[in-house]
Chains A and B, each alone.
Chain A
Amino acid sequence: MSATMRIVNGQVYDPKNNINGEIKEICIQDGKIVDAVDDDATIIDAKGMVIMPGGVDIHCHIAGPKVNLARKLTPEARRHDVHPSTPFTRSGSGGTTPSTFAAGYRYATLGYTTAMEAAVSPIGARHVLEEFEDTPIIDKGFYVLLGNNIFLHNLIREKRFEEFEQAVAWWVNATKAYTVKLVNPGGDEAWKGKKNSNVTDIDEKTGPSGDITPRQIIEAFVKTVNKQGYPHPPHIHCNNLGHSGNYITTLETMKTAGDLRAHIAHIQFHSYGGEVGKNPISKAAEIADYVNNHPNITCDVGQVMFGESTIMTADAPLAYVLKGHTKGKWVNADTECESGCGILPFTYQEHLYMHTLQWAIGLELFLLSEDPWRIILSTDHPNGGSFMAYPKLIKLLMDEKFRHEEMKRVNQKALKKCSLPELKREYTLYEIAIITRAGPAKALGLETKGHLGVGADADITIYDSMDDKEMMFSTARYVFKSGEPMIANHEFKTDSQGTVYHIEPTYDNKIEEVLKPFFEDFYSIEFSNYPVDDHYLHQHEIIKTG
């Protein structure tokens, strides 16, 4: 049974419907936003409060094999960050890789009601869906890693693009994914097969036979996904993440997409100038300029926040490079025929040149963005920092004075290599609602999310209006999920499971005849046991393609 409710007297920020802080009634019935409700509907007085759609995280790592390895790896990070149970909610533990229940509840506490797990090896899809069942409240989906898939590399190499399209669609269906993810395309073979090396150029020959390039892989996926009309384009983690001078690779990756849709993940980590092996300088302006002028590109920032993080990436060679800096514990986890993975605890420190510059470049990208709909808020949780740092990030964007206070504490040499100190822009609440709600929902093609128009899902957050924006966004007073009050007056009132979003692009079954022999030869599980059965989806919804 779903509540019928009328929220009155609140200041509404709903950018998709051009509502900018007006006092407006929001009516809820049967889990959706409606025009009007009966007079006997429950009334919630939101006087002095700000109403926004529930937050949408377009890029985070919250479930699945690599996240669970990270949890197992870091008992020390959660010992002092406990998450007690309530009569309605389960207990858990936090740190930068919270347990499933804690992750769901903590997202809800911030006012987020949707989050997308951004990197899942196909063979790990079943595990992810098992964890999703235990990740409460938020709606979710995941992106399946196909950029280092040997079978697909072989098809690209042999220019069998028709079969490539079919196989990509087969994999998305088999795993129940939301879109495809490319991570350091072509880099795995160098890592696993050539004694831990890596590709360093988008046009470098790689792959099991050493004869395809990252650019060919990117091009094939961008074309296929656009042709098949996925709601969200290929989600791309470019080559050379974290290396000085990598902005050229990033620009080349975006150019490879031409005018076709593509999403560049955590673009901050890909906006560095300078020479390889030396300290980077900021190329945020060049990257922001390209994105500003190419409406086919969306990106999320991957902001670095000082303090503890967990590096967790399918870019295994990068994690190994970072292990060289931390000299601490490290996990590498290779997945047969399809992916790699690296994990290590990491701390971003204000006094270090590199870390300050990363922090500053992220902020520059936000502040130089001319179209907030396409430069979306993320910390690449938990890589740049936890999603729990979003409120502080929002304050950094909204409050120039606060930004300057923070700048006093960081590496001053690094600040000289970027334009951050000169940037005066302050984000408005309307723009925050875009980069945390309306923008990501649009980029994901989730038409019922990120807005409060009639027919939208009644995923609603109500914050107390406060001058301190970090405080304001840290804890929502009310959170409605599908019309149900999950949080009221800062307390959890009930529990729910959330919906899994996935797509079902069409394909010809004949592709299985091509796939099966490859599986029999090179996989360690049977072809028939590889696709994920529908019952793992629990509550789910298919978003249309094409």
Chain B
Amino acid sequence: MPEEANSRKTEEQNKNIKIVEDATCTFCGCVCDDMELHVDVDEKRIIKAKNACVLGRAWFAEHTIEDAPAALIDGKEVSVEEAVEEAAQTLVKAKFPITYGLSDTTSEAQKQAVAITDYIKGNIDTTTSVCHGPSGLAFQGVGESTSTLGEVKNRADLVIYWGGNPAESHPRHFGRYAVTPKGMFTPNGKKDRTVVLVDVRKTKSAGVADILIRPKPGKDFEVLWALRALVKGVSISTDIEKETGVPLEVLTDLVERMKNCRFGVLFFGMGLTMTRGRHFNSGALLALATDLNEYTHFVAKPVRGHGNVTGADNVVSWQTGYPFGVNFSRGYPRFNPGEFTTVDTLSNGDADAAMIIASDPGSNFPKKAIEHLKNIPVVVLDTKSTDTTKLAHVAFKTATYGINTGGTVYRMDDVSIPLRPAFESPFPDDESILKAIKKRVHELILKNNHSGGASGEAKVAAAVNPL
């Protein structure tokens, strides 16, 4: 091994290598910002990502510069300017344009996307609607006791994961934030913590768990509700085991641990939010954490997936007041998941144009939704060729956030973190393309108002002469 390391070192020395310290990995919601990236400046690629997990290493290694056109209209190469014009025309012409995606781009780009959708009186939704959307709805119903991840590291002596498998989906969640790190009041790391995993399967994450609880599939809500009852001192029949697969004494033991810990945390994943019960499941879990605050300090946190899906929630919320599934057709934002969420606007055949940003619904949406997407003009911004870019009317190839562009992302605990780009991309970034589309869309709308009658003319006249 040392020999191999040595030869790699020599190889590095012969190249034009730039080192970027404290770079941020945007692959998953952990948003680890301690990357040391070794960049081959001439070849424009990252040859080493120190501190990255297996997923992060792949993320950094895969994003090299491809030889491909920056913009396509119906598969034919065009200039970015022509594509911007066509995208703006397409969106302005539509009666029910939808914007979707956003979880893998910067909050700066997300801001532009909401602005465009506001101007065109369209519909905006993010990948939240197909991952932790139910947690967002549960949040509206019961609230949430929560904390930043550093507080978990410093204080948590009871860590519970529910319906998730961070060992494979968020590999550094254990080591950097929640299980092994040594914190202010947890000086011995893992030894100071009890780790509980609740999952229908025995996943790789079970390795770190002191206690593994395996409910029957689809019975999470019942288990959570029983725990709430026990916390409140309500007696539960031993039949609970028949119903949920979890013996009463296991639940009683967990309740005692939860009530008696110093600082407890419940992390939860899509095993809870996207199975039977959905927002009822998330709501039950959030309510359980809230109830426990009568006895001790207890927090909960959804373990979010995409690098900046939390940013998408935040940006859409501060600009409109609602986190996802927002429609502007009346000139102001309305929120109605089930109607204004993208699977629905597509499957119901409502949308007559779409702008998809940094997301691939063409590969992972229900068949009916994809069929509709094929029948309407679609504008796509993505770093790679995907099933969605293949069906696009206008496709932009963009620079990768965190690798080629700076900007801001929000970690799963709402902490915002800046990006340090490693090398330049020949492709423009999402923000600049969206800004250009926004500018053109606004011009077209003012012009349409102008030709649309006296009131429109008055508005433009007023724009020219404010008094």
What is the interface of chain A, defined by CB distance below 8 A to chain B?
3, 42, 44, 63, 65, 67-69, 71-75, 78-79, 82-85, 87-88, 90-95, 97-102, 123-124, 126-127, 130-131, 133-134, 150, 191-193, 195-196, 208, 320, 329-337, 343-344, 484-485, 488, 491, 493-494, 521-526, 528-529, 533
Contact = CB atoms under 8 A, between A and B. Distances in A.
A493 B262 contact: no
Interface stretch (B217-225, B370-378, B383-391, B415-423): B415-423
A396 B326 CA distance: 39
A3 to B, nearest CB: 8
A127 B333 contact: no
Given A72-B317, A127-B314, A334-B146, A192 B263 contact: yes
B333 A92 contact: yes
Contact of A526 (B22, B263, B317, B319): B22
Given A67-B318, A71-B318, A100-B318, 11 more contacts: A71-B321, A75-B335, A88-B463, A97-B321, A133-B111, A336-B149, A493-B467, A522-B183, A524-B148, A525-B411, A529-B418
A8 B331 CA distance: 37
B317 A196 contact: no
Contact of B321 (A78, A208, A333, A526): A78
Interface in B142-162: 142-151, 153-155
Interface centre among A69, A334, A523 (most CB of B within 10 A): A334
B33 A525 contact: yes
A111 to B, nearest CB: 18
A82 B314 contact: no
17 contacts: A42-B467, A69-B414, A71-B322, A72-B317, A73-B139, A82-B332, A82-B334, A85-B328, A85-B332, A91-B333, A92-B320, A193-B263, A195-B296, A335-B148, A335-B151, A337-B154, A493-B467
B332 A134 contact: no
B151 A332 contact: no
A520 B183 CA distance: 10
A98 B321 contact: yes
Nearest to B187: A521
Interface string B294-329: 011101000000000000011101111111000010
B466 interface: yes
Contacts of A485: 466-467
Contacts of B418: 126, 529, 533
A27 to B, nearest CB: 15
A331 B146 contact: yes
A331 B144 contact: yes
Nearest to B333: A93
Contacts of A344: 143
A42 B140 CA distance: 50
B65 interface: no
B331 A334 contact: no
B416 A336 contact: no
Interface of B: 21-22, 24, 33-34, 107, 111, 115, 118-119, 136, 139-151, 153-155, 176-177, 182-185, 262-263, 290, 293, 295-297, 299, 313-315, 317-323, 328, 330-335, 408, 410-411, 414-418, 445-446, 449, 459-460, 462-463, 466-467
A491 B459 CA distance: 11
A333 B414 CA distance: 10
A257 B299 CA distance: 36
Contacts of A42: 467
Nearest to B145: A332
A155 to B, nearest CB: 16
Contact of B467 (A124, A191, A488): A488
A101 B319 contact: yes
B419 to A, nearest CB: 9
B262 A65 contact: no
Contacts of B445: 87
Contact of B416 (A94, A130, A523): A130
A329 B331 contact: no
A133 B407 CA distance: 14
B328 A91 contact: yes
Contacts of B321: 71, 75, 78, 92-95, 97-99, 102
B54 to A, nearest CB: 21
Contacts of B111: 130, 133-134
Contact of B449 (A82, A87, A191, A343): A87
Contact of A84 (B262, B332, B335): B332
A92 B177 CA distance: 36
Given A72-B140, A91-B332, A130 B262 contact: no
B184 A208 contact: yes
A127 B153 contact: no
Nearest to A66: B414
B143 A73 contact: yes
Contacts of A74: 140
B417 A150 contact: no
A209 to B, nearest CB: 11
A333 B314 contact: no
A330 B146 CA distance: 11
Nearest to B326: A93
Contacts of A195: 262, 295-297
B150 A72 contact: no
A288 to B, nearest CB: 36
A278 to B, nearest CB: 23
A192 B297 contact: yes
A100 B320 CA distance: 8
Contacts of B146: 331-334
